[in-house]
Each structure stands twice: as structure tokens, then as C-alpha cells.
Chains A and B, each alone.
Chain A
Amino acid sequence: DVKVTQSSRYLVKRTGEKVFLECVQDMDHENMFWYRQDPGLGLRLIYFSYDVKMKEKGDIPEGYSVSREKKERFSLILESASTNQTSMYLCASTTGITREQYFGPGTRLTVT
């Protein structure tokens, strides 16, 4: 059974802080994704990675960076958090064979 975990369910940070969100999957999936979910806007792709140390920008990469040093771990970094980055952040992974994306439980980030 695929398991995707995220480091925090809830996080409160101050404007200007550096924020790290971590995602870990245990199924040896090649592809990993970071989305943000906002009401009425659906799931929007921030960044994705198809291999260790490889990354590609999604639809809304501004203000974010990512790191993938190990296959099972994909980190999202907010270099200087702003209030407009208050959102639900979802991580997902997939093998690319079945194409089904397995999501983590999400991190609700509030920037004050």
C-alpha cells in the first residue's frame, strides 16, 4: 500500500520566514509533485521532479523552490514567506506506469 507522508499537518509562520515542507513516499516512485489547493482554484502545480536532483517548474513556481536529494524525499521551500502563500499544500507521487498520483495528507500553511 502506497504511503505518502508530509512533515506537518498545520504550520503557522511569520512573513519573511524561510519555510520547509517535506514529503516522503515509500514506494520507490520516480515522479513527485507539489501542489497548492485554494478554494475555487483547484489543484495548481508548483514544481515536480522526475528523478533525483531533477526538477521542473509547474504553473505557479514564483516564490517557491524545491529540493530532491533522495528518491523518496521531495522538499518545498518558501524562501521568504508571504501572506499570499497561505494555502493548503499537497504532495503527490507516481510511478509513471499506472499514472495514478498518490497524495499526501496535506499541510495547511498560514503566514501571518
Chain B
Amino acid sequence: GENVEQHPSTLSVQEGDSAVIKCTYSDSASNYFPWYKQELGKRPQLIIDIRSNVGEKKDQRIAVTLNKTAKHFSLHITETQPEDSAVYFCAASAFGNEKLTFGTGTRLTIIP
């Protein structure tokens, strides 16, 4: 089955700097890669996703890049703000399969 590895497990960044979280996946059939954000005490929520037919997607300060050849994808957050502090999860799934395999999470802390 699919295996998703996520790094780093913790990340501290000065407010205003950029943060990058990286994930690798094992199943070459995977074609859908979402990112979820979980604030303290809250439920995970989708913040951005990418499908395998594109290499990059942006939404304001967040972007995701995908390298299908290397089987890795990354989340980029620019101009970080205190409200970006949360745990971020990457995930992967194959076409027609609603089951998501999640990474182990990255706790991002923005230092004021």
C-alpha cells in the first residue's frame, strides 16, 4: 500500500519568513495530494491540494509543488504569520480511491 513520509516533524520560523514542509510517497499510482491544517484543539481542514497533471499550485501565501518523477511534494508558506502556527499533514491517494494515506504531521511554530 501507499506510504507517505513527512519532514520535518517540527519547524520553528520567524514571523515573516518562509516555511517549507516536504513529503514523499511510494505508490506511483497516486495522483491526488492534499494538505490539511490542524490548529490546536480543532479539526483538520483542507488548505490546498494538487493533482498530478500540474506541477505547482498557489493560493495567496501558500503553494504546493509536485515532482512526480521523484515522488515528492512540498508545501510552501511565505510571509508567515502567527495564525500559521498549527500542525500540517500531507496526504496522497490514487485515482478512484477515496482512501487517503496521511503523513505523520509537522508542527509549525511561528516566532513573533
Contact = CB atoms under 8 A, between A and B. Distances in A.
Nearest to B46: A100
B11 to A, nearest CB: 15
Size category, A interface: 20 to 34
A48 interface: yes
B1 interface: yes
A90 B101 CA distance: 14
Interface in B23-66: 32, 34, 36, 42-46, 49
- Interface SS, A side: strand
Interface stretch (A14-22, A70-78, A103-111): A103-111
B105 A42 contact: yes
B98 A94 contact: yes
B104 interface: yes
Closest 8 CB pairs of A and B: A42-B104, A103-B43, A43-B102, A31-B98, A42-B102, A100-B46, A42-B105, A103-B44
Interface of A: 31, 33, 35, 40-45, 48, 50, 56, 58-59, 90, 94, 96, 99-101, 103-106
